[in-house]
Structure 1
Amino acid sequence: MQTVSVAESRQLDDKTINQIGIPSMVLMERAGLKIYEDMVHNADLDLSRVLILAGTGNNGGDGLVVARLLATHNYNVSILTVGNPDHASPDHVNQQKICDYYQIPKVFMNADFNQYTTLVDALFGSGLSRNVGGDFATVIDKANAATAKIHAIDIPSGLNGDTGEVMGTAIKATSTSTIAYAKQGMVKAGANAYTGKLFVDDIGIYKGDTFDNE
């Protein structure tokens, strides 16, 4: 399996958006559709009642696309946003407006995660650089303790994308949809206990001959 480092992943994103010219919202829509399809076709997941755990960055934005696709295909889905909405990325803000249009229910930190059959981890992407704390750590630990299965987006939140080490605490996913390429840390010894079944989703980000690795 071909893998990339966290730095390479960022460079590829930047190249695709700013040099090639594919808008970030287009990539987010592609990612969300692939993740939705991974989930629907994954027999290990029961999608009777789904809760999206969304951070305020673009990983959370991917989760909001998944929430909308589930809702518009008549799945029972709710959203728990974790983090300061004032610091949300522009694409996250746009995706939340779309979810609001479709009136997708929102829940709060005191929600009973055992009410759900599947949790979607859209808290952090692969660029996490410090130990998880605060509400994020609380939600991760609560998710791991719940009876619901967990599907992670890009990388289980709390897992270091380069080393595979746990950054304080980390999601233990039943399955993970990683975007474009698996991250190096996801194939390290012991990482499978956190990633579960791995889907690698092609959304139009490619490591080609002209890729500058410096």
Structure 2
Amino acid sequence: MAASLPQSFYRAEQVREGEIAVAKALEIPMYQLMLRAGQAVFDTLAQRYPNAARILIVCGVGNNAGDGYVIARLAKSSGLNVTVWALGDPERLTGDAATAFQEWRDCGGTNVSSAPTMQQFDVIVDAILGTGLSRAVTGDYAEAISRINQSQVPVIAVDIPSGLCADSGCVKGCAINATITVTLIALKQGLVTGKAMSHRGELVFAGLNVATAFGRQTQAAGWLMSDDLCQRYLPKRDRTAHKGQFGRVLCLGGDHGMAGAVTLSAQAALRTGAGLVKVVTQADHTLMLVTRQPELMTQGWAPGQSLSEALEWATNLVIGPGLGSSAWSDALWKIAVGSRGTKVIDADGLNKLARHPQQRDDWVLTPHPGEAARLLGCEVADVELDRFAAVKAIQTRYGGVVVLKGAGTIVYDGTDYAVANVGNPGMASGGMGDVLSGVIGSFIAQGVDLFHAAAMGCYLHGKAGDQAALAGERGLLASDLLPELQRLID
């Protein structure tokens, strides 16, 4: 039966080895797991498309095809009109997949070897390629994927959309655009970030009655962020609480023409519970800032002036929103980055760090893919090819905690990966990253460790975006998240 998404995710090799081990430990034949997998996918099809009568199941020549033949047999026995399109000779199948194919034939099932007209079907089941894909999809497989994608018929992918890398989520040449992906036994890490988010559709989990045992014996590669982050790391406030207990955030940035960025960051820090927030910016921005948000403290600054009092006052810093690339920003950056204490580095702060690399353990870096590419000296495409590898490379080079933003934002501290399975395309607008930096800075000021402050910040930021997007994704503004953030942490 399908279940809510588990919190842990795993690499493909872990799942392949782990499912064999758990089946042995529980004395379950591997073919029984294949039968359970087929049943889980068929149950999802029947629940989501109860009026579907004509089903196309597209099978390759691996274990994923075995699941497909199980589904075909179940669908046929339920009275559905089933067509199996075999890509490659099913006689090449071995092991459990061959057994599933033989049972399909034994119940009177037949295959077609050439492409049928896709539009005649109500649902297509993708059982072409599984999690073991290691090279680009070409030839008949690529043509089949293209035909399926062009059909506009709903697609249910078995375990993973064919053509996606199960570890990175990158597209290996081409990939199925699934409407629903039913992933089996354990959540694969490639399904939770990057390009996978555009191909997986709705993600449904089926543990096949072995997921708990699998999780006990296999160390997770990482975990999905959830509501319990706030419950664990941001406890309810005592009735006698006062502002001095919740930290002092110092936001530095807002060069000429970019005051809005640092304003959003500072407002986000206030809205998520920081006790006090001060902004160091261009002197002619201070009136605008307090007019916009009277709860903010401000300090105009020019090169040559002291910042020591403000730096000593602060619990932690947020450096970079609207910082710019002028002589003023270079001077401010040099003082701020050289100061003691924890920091969140964002936006133009990251671009300066890329030009003058250093390593520290007391900061959170929050690059989007473009900034990540500059930090690594590579192309954006290289970052998106394997986001897990990219965030690890940044952390190795620069230290601290790294937040690689984007669809399926990843947080990594050198040991643990956490992914935010929240957010929406409406958040692709100016100022969203500035808000995130303020949220993370606020949680650090309130005493949360860097890794969990970053994870909690990313999760609440994405969830606030989802709440704000209920009014519509297109035209969603960064400032729309501010009231939602306050509601979510209450």
Shared fold, TM over 0.5: yes
Q: Does 1:200 align with 2:234?
A: no
Give ranges in structure 1 of 5+ residues lacking alignment. none
Q: Does 1:21 align with 2:24?
A: no
Q: Distance in 1 between matches of 2:91 and 2:47?
A: 35
After superposition, give the CA deviation of every residue in 1:161-182 in whole Å (9 maximum; x if it has no partner).
0111000000000001000122
2:67 is matched with: 62
Deviates more, 1:29-38 or 1:83-92: 83-92
One-letter identity of the residue aligned with 2:199: Y
Q: Distance in 1 between matches of 2:215 and 2:106?
A: 38
After superposition, give the CA deviation of every residue in 1:76-134 in whole Å (9 maximum; x if it has no partner).
11111112434312212111111112212422223212221211000111111111112
1:145 is matched with: 150
1:170 paired residue among 175, 180, 187: 175
2:296 is matched with: none
Deviates more, 1:101-110 or 1:150-159: 101-110
Q: Distance in 1 between matches of 2:140 and 2:173?
A: 13
2:95 is matched with: 90
Q: Distance in 2 between matches of 1:150 and 1:86?
A: 26
Q: Distance in 1 between matches of 2:15 and 2:86?
A: 25
Q: Is the 8 A contact 1:113 1:148 kept in 2?
A: yes
Q: Does 1:132 align with 2:137?
A: yes
2:218 is matched with: 211
Q: Distance in 2 between matches of 1:210 and 1:180?
A: 13
Q: Distance in 2 between matches of 1:146 and 1:163?
A: 27
One-letter identity of the residue aligned with 1:169: C
After superposition, give the CA deviation of every residue in 1:175-210 in whole Å (9 maximum; x if it has no partner).
010001221010103322211011100112433444
Structure 1 or 2: more helix by fraction: 2
SS, match of residue 190 in structure 2 = helix
Q: Does 1:12 align with 2:14?
A: no
SS, match of residue 84 in structure 2 = strand
Q: Does 1:31 align with 2:37?
A: yes
Question: Against the structure 1 CA distance between its residues 103 and 183, is the aligned structure 2 distance closer, same or farther, given a 3 Å change threshold?
Answer: same
Q: Distance in 2 between matches of 1:210 and 1:181?
A: 12
Q: Distance in 2 between matches of 1:37 and 1:78?
A: 18
Q: What does 1:35-114 align with in structure 2 at a 5 Å threshold?
A: 35-43=41-49, 47-114=52-119
1:189 paired residue among 191, 194, 213: 194
| Percent identity (aligned) | 32
SS, match of residue 91 in structure 1 = helix
TM-score w.r.t. length of structure 2: 0.42
SS, match of residue 168 in structure 1 = coil
Q: Is the 8 A contact 1:150 1:173 kept in 2?
A: yes
Greater relative contact order, per chain length (Cα 8 Å cut-off, separation 6+): 1
C-alpha RMSD over aligned residues: 2.0
Q: Distance in 2 between matches of 1:140 and 1:114?
A: 14
Q: Distance in 1 between matches of 2:115 and 2:217?
A: 49
2:284 is matched with: none
One-letter identity of the residue aligned with 1:140: I
CA drift of 1:158 comes to 0.2
Q: Distance in 1 between matches of 2:219 and 2:10?
A: 13
Q: Is the 8 A contact 1:109 1:139 kept in 2?
A: no
Q: Is the 8 A contact 1:77 1:105 kept in 2?
A: no
1:158 is matched with: 163
Give ranges in structure 2 of 5+ residues lacking alignment. 1-6, 221-490
One-letter identity of the residue aligned with 1:194: H
Q: Does 1:2 align with 2:3?
A: no
SS, match of residue 21 in structure 1 = coil
Q: Distance in 2 between matches of 1:174 and 1:163?
A: 20
CA drift of 1:51 comes to 0.6
Q: Distance in 1 between matches of 2:95 and 2:51?
A: 32
Q: Distance in 2 between matches of 1:120 and 1:42?
A: 13
Q: Is the 8 A contact 2:164 2:172 kept in 1?
A: yes
Q: Is the 8 A contact 2:19 2:185 kept in 1?
A: no
How many matched pairs? 213
